[in-house]
Every structure is written in C-alpha cells, then in structure tokens.
Chains A and B, each alone.
Chain A
Amino acid sequence: MLIKQWILIGATSDIAKALIQYNEFEPHALMLCAKNSALLSQMVDDLKVRKPQVQTNPITIDLSQIEKVNWLASVIQKTFTEPYGIIYFAGILDDDETASKEKIIAMNHVNFLFPMLLFEEIFKNPSETKCQSIVVVGSVAGDRGRAKNYRYGATKAAIDTYLSGLRQRLFNFGIHVLTVKPGFVKTKMIQHLTKTPLAATPERVAKDIWKAIQKRKMVIYTPWFMRWILFILRHLPEKWFLKIKF
C-alpha cells in the first residue's frame, strides 16, 4: 500500500523542494516542518499552484532545539489518524576548523539527536503507531571519516547506525526504514565548496528517493555509482587511506 500522507522535516531543503515538485509524488496531505517561516509560506503557495489537491500543513520549528521533540511528536500523532510516513531532510554542514562549539552542537542536534529522539518517541509502541515509513537523508560522508568533513561525517555515521538498528527492530511490525546516502548534491549546503566532483542535482536525488520508497529499499546511494566509490573507499587499508588527499 502506498502511503499518501507525508511529513517532510527540513522541508525547505533543496532536495525536499525537488521532491515536492516531482510529478510522480502525489500525496493527499503534507506536513512541512522547517525553520524559515517566510520560505515555508512561499513553498506552501507554490504547492497550492502546482498540486492544488494536496492538503498542506506548515509547521515552523528549529530542529537544533531538541526540547521541541516531544511537542513535534505529539503534533504529528494528533494530526495523523491514517498511515503516514516521515522523510527527514534536515542537515547542517558546519565543518571547518573554525566552527564554534555551539555550531558543532547544533550540527549534532539537527543531524542526529533530533531525528533519533523523534523516532524513539514515535516508535515507543510500534504496534500502535500509524507511522509506516521513515526515510532519512544521510550522507556518504558517514561511511568513512575524511579530514575534510569528519565532524559532519561522524553525525551521519551515527544516524546510519541508529537507523540500521531501528530497521531491524521495526521489521516485524512491517515498518519501512530507508537510509539515503547522497554524494555531493548541488544544494545550499555545499555552495561554499569550490570542488564538488560528480555533484548530482536535487531533482535526481528526489527522484531516486521516491523510487526507493516505492520499492521499499533499505539503503540507497544516490547517484547509484556512489555505492561503488564508497565500497572501494571503505575497504581501503587505513595505511593507504591516510595518504589520500581529498
């Protein structure tokens, strides 16, 4: 059965925007959660034009404030009485030597702690929840720490491990857990980087995510060839890995 109600967390991210605009994504209801309320209302207007049949419910929330987790979970559980799915797009990449402690903490909150606490709250009692599917956009950076982005990579590795455990736990309840691992995607997040080899467009990633949801895949790399690049990278002996410069 295809889920028709979706919660998009980090709805103003470029990948989320591309998914919302993707033709074959035809939900009945959408709950859009994001920090920037002006941008969010612009997106709701856009959605009203593109897909007038979709009921939208914008929610302004700052994901770095983890105390809001319970509030969001209760809003979600109250709003949805039909099966629904959650797609978690939010992520922060604040990874240079000068990043302050506060920034690193915020990055950890948004990338890892918030989704973990939210899913723990929602799946307290998996047999009763209406949530049938969760999707989290992770990153290939979580597969192996590189000097350029290991702080960010660590948060993504954490969410990866968490999801893998959650998937096993929820398997018997028929709840689908998908981890998405994109390579470079041409989004706001990487605008400051000068070299972004093999960067994919958000549209392509959104399309891959939607196809993977329909096929109930568990872990996808996008674009597909990233799987093999990361396969090699993961298996490089540490001695050799030290000498790689990228």
Chain B
Amino acid sequence: MKIVHQLLSGWGRVNPRDSRVCYPTTPFEIEKVLGGTNEPIIARGLGRSYGDAAVSDAITVNLSTFNFFQSWNPQHGIIRVSAGTSLKQILDFVVPQGWFLPVTPGTQYCTVGGCVAADVHGKNHHIQGSFSKFVHSFDLMCSGGSLLTCNLQTNSDLFFATLGGMGLTGVIVWVELQLTPVQTIYITERKRRIQSWEECIEAFQEDNPNEPYAVAWVDATTSIGKGELWYGRHTNEDELPKLVKPYPKKKSKEPWTVPNLFQNSLVNRRTITLFNRLKYLNSPKRSQTTVVPYWEFFYPLDRLLEWNRLYGKSGFIQYQYVVPFETNPTFHRQIVELCLQNGQIPSLAVFKRMGKGIQEELPTYDHSLKYLPTLSFPKQGWTLALDFPMTNGLLPLLSRLDQMVIEAGGRVYLAKDVRLSPETFRKMYPELSIWKNVCRKYNDEIRFQSSLSKRLQIC
C-alpha cells in the first residue's frame, strides 16, 4: 500500500500536521495497513470535520476512495454502503427513487463513516434525533484486523461507543442505513425575520411536526439577536403545480471552487459586518413560503467548494455548544456580548433547538445497557455554532466560553473542536470512563488515535 506524506488539517485549516496517508479501497487493504505497522491510525473521509478529529501525526487512512454501494432495498429504503461513500452519492442515487436521508448535516460532501463517527445532527434534530438513530448496523475493524458487526443486538456496547466515538474505536467499514420516503425532490421552505433572542427561542418552542426542519441564522455582529429563521418540510406531490415533475432530471449547478490564493483572511471585521447586514436586509419582513430543490435548502454552502480557503492561511474555528433548555435565555446574548467585547466578531452564527440525544433516549432502545458508553454530542437544549476567523485573542476567549458552557451544564462539539483542554473535556463528557472501558475491551492496544484524542488525552 502506497503511503504518501501530506500536510493535513481539519476543515478549519488550523494546526496542519505532517501525516502519512494511505488510500485503501477494500476492507482487505485496510487490514493490511493495520497489520503492517504498530503506529497509531485514524480514519479520515472528506475532511469536513472542522477540528483535528481526522488528523494525525502518524498514519491517516483516507477512505474517501472507498465508496461503494453494497446492497439496496428499494421497498424498505435500506441501503448498505462503504464508509467512504459521500452523502451526495447516496442522495443522487436514492432521491429519484423517492427516498431521502432522514438526517443530514449542512454539507453533502461528507462520508457516511464520518457521519457515524461524529454522530452528526441536522436541522430536524429536535424531531428526528441524530444520524445514529438511522444506522441499522455497521462493520467495524478493530485493532485485531477482523470485521465486527455491530448493532443493537450484537456488540451493542461497541455499537454505541462508535456512534459519536470520533473514529477511536476502530475503522468503520460498511454501514447499513435506514432512509425515509419522500414524494418530491422539493422542500417547502418558510422564512421569517426575527428581531431578538427571545423571539427566536419562542419561535422554536412552537412545536411543529409538520415542519420538521428548523434553523436560525443570527446576526452576531451585534448582541441583539436579529436574524432569520428557516422552517422546511418535504413537499408533497399534490402541492406541486401541474407542469412540475416531482423528480425532475435537473441537477444542482456545478459548484465553484475557491482557489487557494489567499494568504490573509477575506473574512474580516468589515466583510463580516457587511455580509451580516446585507443578509438581514435580504430576509423577508413577513413570513414567506417558497418551494426549492433540497440542495438549496440543506446545502447552501456546497455551492462554493473549498470555501474554507476564504479564511486564508490562518484558518478559522467553529465553536458549537449545546446548553439545556433550563438555561437562562439571555445566556446566548451574554456569549455573543463577551465575544464582541473581546474584539472577536463571529462571521456566522447558527442557532437551533436540539431534541434528546442518544443517552437521553436510552429507555427506547431494547437492550441491557444501563448507561450508554457514548461521546455523542447532541443532547436536549439550545445549540449555537459560531465561526471565528483565527486571530490572536481567540483561544483565551474560547476558554472563557468553555467555563460558561460547563456552568450551564452544556458541552462543546468534538467534531468542530481544535483547542479544548483535557480537563474541560472531562467535565463536558462524563461518559468518558465507561466509553474508555468499551474501547479497551475490543482493542488490545491503543491503535486508533487522532490529534484530537492525543490533545484531550482520551485514550
């Protein structure tokens, strides 16, 4: 297996590491990589996690070319794919047949393996839960090199440890997913303007199962909480005008690629303010409903490939936290205020409501475990994601935010993290010790390590 040197970093392009990378395309080749060395290994997909979860000083197994469908059941919407398959490949195949991913993150250029390992969530988390809820089973390659089938019945502890396990329990090889039926490729989107944090939170609290997707963009250049709220649902066939086909052949436009030219960030105080003002002015004053193809609703950022290059050589950090519902509604305003006081202006802020995480849903699972060994991020509450261009004063500020989040009983998303300390991490993820036991049970030695796991001293 050819091993090549590459400078790798997460999507945020902070802290690049010199890594040795190989590109296996069959389970047998992954096994050969595992057997051929004693060094730590971490799997990587399309590199969309913001932090250093899929980066390593040692060996990185890039599975982005391991993208194959294995089986497909069009009656029940169950698809079995290799871990390196991207969500785009799945959607391009299943949507014309009337199926859709029940949970999708904000990009379709991410792999299924990555979605399982980070237990990603989507705009419908408060209704549907996270990605892992729709994983029937997967095959995992642990340090021994053999494939272990994991699902609710067999190896259920390893199953939960791998959901949100950041790839540290082994290499995910095959994944079986449950899809959800849709009638058209369209989403009925409703937009409304919001004037304050209070209004935003109130709007989210109106439970509306008819519109399962809900997400808010907030103008974080001020602490007022102005912004725009999007609701969405899959459009039914009978709602379409007569001449519009439910599954037209048309495709999304070819995306543009940002060239790797910028030394300095194009995203700075001026452009951020301008962008946020314009976006707010562009939002409809009264609630407005439109019908758009699914990619326009779910993946607006995919129109621009490699958009992380806009932040220049120094990169950016996305800070996403979740805090319980009981938290004072002014909490988010305080967070934004603190950022602005410290001269750090978030370029983008996305706010949404989260439903129960897999730990909280434990009673609904049928098996013997009392407490789930999982590092999955989502839990009931409010979540805010803030993008910051990487500058000098940013890291101390984020450490202060960590303290506020811990005091509120919340935590930070590992898939986006590049700077958390081991101590704060332990306060945020109390499940760590039992998770570790499961990880040790199936791996005789610590083979799976990333820059993230070393920094947080997970293994």
Contacts and interface: CB of A to CB of B under 8 A. Distances in A.
Interface of A: 12, 14, 21, 36, 38-39, 42-43, 45-46, 49-50, 188, 191-192, 194
Interface string B41-73: 000000000000000000000000100111110
Interface residues of B, number: 17
B23 A42 contact: no
B26 interface: yes
B24 to A, nearest CB: 10
A194 B202 CA distance: 51
Contacts of A14: 65
B70 A49 contact: yes
A46 B25 CA distance: 13
CB-CB nearest 9 A-B residue pairs: A49-B69, A46-B68, A192-B4, A38-B26, A49-B72, A46-B69, A42-B68, A39-B26, A38-B28
A195 to B, nearest CB: 11
Interface of B: 2, 4, 6, 21, 23, 25-26, 28, 65, 68-72, 82, 89, 93
Contacts of A49: 69-72, 93
B2 A191 contact: yes
Among B4, B68, B69, chain A packs the most CB atoms within 10 A around the CB of B68
A194 B89 CA distance: 27
A49 B93 CA distance: 10
Contacts of B69: 45-46, 49-50
B4 to A, nearest CB: 4
14 contacts: A12-B25, A36-B25, A39-B26, A42-B68, A42-B82, A45-B69, A45-B70, A45-B71, A46-B68, A49-B70, A49-B93, A188-B65, A191-B21, A191-B23
A89 to B, nearest CB: 15
B47 to A, nearest CB: 13
Nearest to A42: B68
A159 to B, nearest CB: 24
A45 B26 contact: no
A188 B82 CA distance: 18
Nearest to A36: B26
Contacts of B28: 38
Nearest to B72: A49
B410 to A, nearest CB: 40
A101 B415 CA distance: 46
Nearest to B69: A49
Among B4, B25, B70, chain A packs the most CB atoms within 10 A around the CB of B25
